Amino acid sequence: MIRAVDIHKHFGPVEVLKGVSLEVGKGEVVAVIGPSGSGKSTFLRCLIHLETIHRGSIEIEGEPLVTTDGSGACRYVSEASIRRVCGKMGMVFQHFNLFPHLTVLQNIIEAPMTVKGLRRDEVVPKAEALLKKVGLFDKRDSYPSRLSGGQKQRVAIARALAMEPDIMLFDEPTSALDPELTGEVLRTMRGLADEHMTMVVVTHEMGFAREVASRVIFMADGAIVEEQPAREFFASPQHPRTRAFLESML
Amino acid sequence: MNYVFDIMPPLLQGTGVTLQVFIITLLLSVPLGLALALVRLSRFRVLGGVVNGYIWLMRGTPLMLQMLFIYFALPFVPVIGIRLPDFPAAILAFTLNYAAYFAEIFRAGIQSIDRGQYEGARVLGLTYPQTMRRIVLPQVVKRILPPMSNETITLVKDTSLIYVLAMNDLLRAARGIVQRDFTISPFVVAAAFYLIMTLVLTYGFQRLEKKYAVYD
């Protein structure tokens, strides 16, 4: 589903990604962990073109987003193709990024109506079904400011799902939440994983990585240090940096 | 009291002129200001620089000077030289001037919107124009209501500057009667008229602010 090869990126003189490669298969749940500043969020943002890369290639479901030829010239596909390729993915942010001037329901139906041109009566039933799924049907007409952090994040998940993505990207979805609210968001994500949604999750939640992820990737200093099936990753981490990191998380 | 009724017709006529200048200027300068702000924030650096220069010019010289220039000097400018009657000249000067101030208000409003809103819209597939129209600008409107209220109230009173083009706005009408009858009551009546107009505006903006407060 996702095929990223040798991704390089720098912010000015600072190299944030030093040749990161990742392949994600259909239905896989990949957890990306690592210390802050390791480049894991930047890598995720590159996959959906919120950041541009300087070398490497990204393919989503076999369609190229960006390629680098033999001479090292990095080329993105056309604007229309970028839109189509990135449209296969949904994304959930650390700070939710809900639209504050729209109600919960309006947040969810905005993109299907504006982007896909669907009629209101076509999208509302689906939006309501999604709200039921994330357990927030009764908040349908509330504004985001009236919701708790956990509720906001669940609306954000429903909003992304409304565009029917094949892949969901999560950028530290529980890092801005009070500890007692992370559970409801993680449960919603676990529900998605149970439905075999392909997911890439940048997270600090080791419990989630251990129990839900099929594969865990440990990043540090802009590179992948270790990559293992979740069980092995936590049972027998190979790299000393991974061990040090896991110890510091406990 | 009878005297006040006697002077009403010219004062009401003056109020009509004042309101015309006010409303037409507002209708023209708000969209122009928004367009200027969008150009200034766009990736077209050169155009943005031109807009910057324009705003500097319009905010850096007196409105009265601009009005006198458009009315008296514009006819002698090569190529674009045209002679405008007093009313269009006044409207043009007011619109060009107020658009510069509105542009700055819009710019500040647009820049105050969190980057996350753009990113949230982008990953959902919205184009830049869609993001602006559906997500950013509706939030901008709410944030700029207080400075817009300020600026429109200032505009009501600034309309009195059109006396330099010998147009009979509310203040000039009042002054004419004062000089004729040697009494200051026309000034008091004019002040009351201005106060009523600004009261209506204040009330209108308060209503709008309340309306937009629902999502706070």
pLDDT in tens, B138-194: 999 999 999 999 999 999 999 999 999 989 999 999 999 999 999 999 999 999 999
- φ and ψ at residue A82, rounded to 5 degrees: -55, -45
Tell me the CATH number of domain B2-213, given options 3.40.50.300, 1.10.3720.10, 3.30.70.1050, 1.10.10.60: 1.10.3720.10
User: How large is the average pLDDT for residues B61-73?
Assistant: 94
Note the pTM of the prediction, 2 decimals.
0.90
A to B CB pairs, distance under 8 Å:
62
- Whether chain B has a CB inside 8 Å of the CB on A11: the answer is no
E runs forming strands in chain A = 2-11, 14-24, 29-33, 55-60, 63-68, 74-76, 89-92, 167-171, 198-202, 215-220, 223-229
Residue A90 and residue B123: Cβ atoms within 8 Å? yes
Nearest C-alpha in A relative to B133:
A114
Nearest C-alpha in A relative to B119:
A50
- pLDDT of res. A249: 81
Name the residue ranges covered by the structural domains of chain B.
Answer: 2-213
What is the value of ipTM here, to two decimals? 0.93
Tell me A3's DSSP state.
E
- pLDDT of res. B107: 97
- pLDDT of res. B87: 94
pLDDT in tens, A47-79: 999 999 999 999 999 999 999 988 888 999 999
In the predicted structure, residue B78 carries a pLDDT above the cut 90: no
Minimal C-alpha gap between B211 and chain A (Å) = 11
pLDDT in tens, A129-164: 999 999 999 999 999 999 999 999 999 999 999 999
Which of B114, B124, B139 is the closest to A115 by Cβ? B124
User: How large is the average pLDDT for residues A175-188?
Assistant: 92
Question: pLDDT category, A39, cuts 50, 70, 90?
Answer: very high
In the predicted structure, residue A250 carries a pLDDT above the cut 80: no
DSSP string, chain B: -HHHHHHHHHHHHHHHHHHHHHHHHHHHHHHHHHHHHHHHHSS-HHHHHHHHHHHHHHHHS-HHHHHHIIIIIGGGSTTT--PPPHHHHHHHHHHHHHHHHHHHHHHHHHHTS-HHHHHHHHHTT--HHHIIIIIIHHHHHHHHHHHHHHHHHHHHHHGGGGGGGT---HHHHHHHHHHHHT-SHHHHHHHHHHHHHHHHHHHHHHHHHHHHGGG-
Residue A48 and residue B139: Cβ atoms within 8 Å? no
Q: Using an 8 Å CB-CB cutoff, list chain B residues near A111.
A: 121, 124-126
- pLDDT of res. B2: 84
Distance CA B210, CA B134 (A): 21
Tokens 């989503």 sit on residue = A60
- Whether chain B has a CB inside 8 Å of the CB on A77: the answer is no
Residue B120 and residue A143: Cβ atoms within 8 Å? no
Nearest C-alpha in A relative to B121:
A111
